[in-house]
Amino acid sequence: MRRARKRAVSVLVLLILLASAAIAAEAAKKTVNMKVHGKVRYEGSRGRTIIEGGVTIRYDDTVIVAASAVIDNAAETAKLSGGVTLTQQDVTLTADEMDVNLKQDNAEVKGNVKLEKREEQAEKDESGKPKISIITVTCDMLDISTKTQDFMARGSVVIAKDAQKAQAQKADYKNAQKELLLEGSVFIEDAGDKSIRCDKAILYTDKELVEAEGQPVEITFEVEE
């Protein structure tokens, strides 16, 4: 009798777990909407969808516009080209080419890469509202998460924020911490001809704060005589 009860309980627990997994899988699904402004070639659910003449892709709060696209229907990935633009909340990203993974909420771009992000500052204006700065990043390649807005920029990275400019070989951005980790021949210059050369630096995008390290850290500035 006890064994029968244990089996019944075990079956019930298994059914609950399976039902929970099914609900989670259903909740994890996202709706992707595509509007094509030209020609479409559809090769079946396991083949490709080839688009020419312009396409607009929408999912979650992300909108992507491109001149052409090749979509792997089974893998749920897309290769976009021709004046690609991705917009999401306070981020606008443009490039020549973009690889999008819809399952992993990830996009890789290359060629004339430019990212612009509106960032609330810790400093307030006269009305008591946070000041807004535009962070601009240009580079050779960039990998961004459309879920977190974290990104990795690689190759000839240039960053501009208000009067501050920075250069590095790579930059890793953490949106939750508002931190840009710069590495490789880092050069940062500010208003008033002040500059820093170092191996590595953290640039905070919501305040005027830089943390630098290296062997050595070189600081240059001018004083009036």
Do 153 and 51 lie in a common domain? no
Please write the tens of the pLDDT for every residue from 65-84. Answer: 999 999 998 888 999 999 89
| DSSP structure string for 138-190 | EEEEEEEETTT--EEEEEEEEEEETTEEEEEEEEEEETTTTEEEEEEEEEEEE
Do 145 and 214 lie in a common domain? yes
- Residue 20 pLDDT > 50: no
Close Cβ partners of 205 (under 8 Å, ≥ 6 residues apart): 117, 119, 133, 135, 161, 173, 178, 179, 180
What is residue 211's predicted lDDT score, i.e. its pLDDT? Answer: 94
- Which residue range is the domain that position 18 belongs to? 1-29
What is residue 223's predicted lDDT score, i.e. its pLDDT? Answer: 78
Q: Which long-range contacts (CB under 8 A, 24 or more apart) does 54-57 make?
A: 55/80, 57/32, 57/33, 57/100
What is residue 25's predicted lDDT score, i.e. its pLDDT? Answer: 40
> Would you say how long the chain is, in residues?
225
The last residue of one of the domains, among 51, 86, 104, is 104
Do 81 and 123 lie in a common domain? no
Do 180 and 152 lie in a common domain? yes
CATH number at residue 121: 2.60.450.10
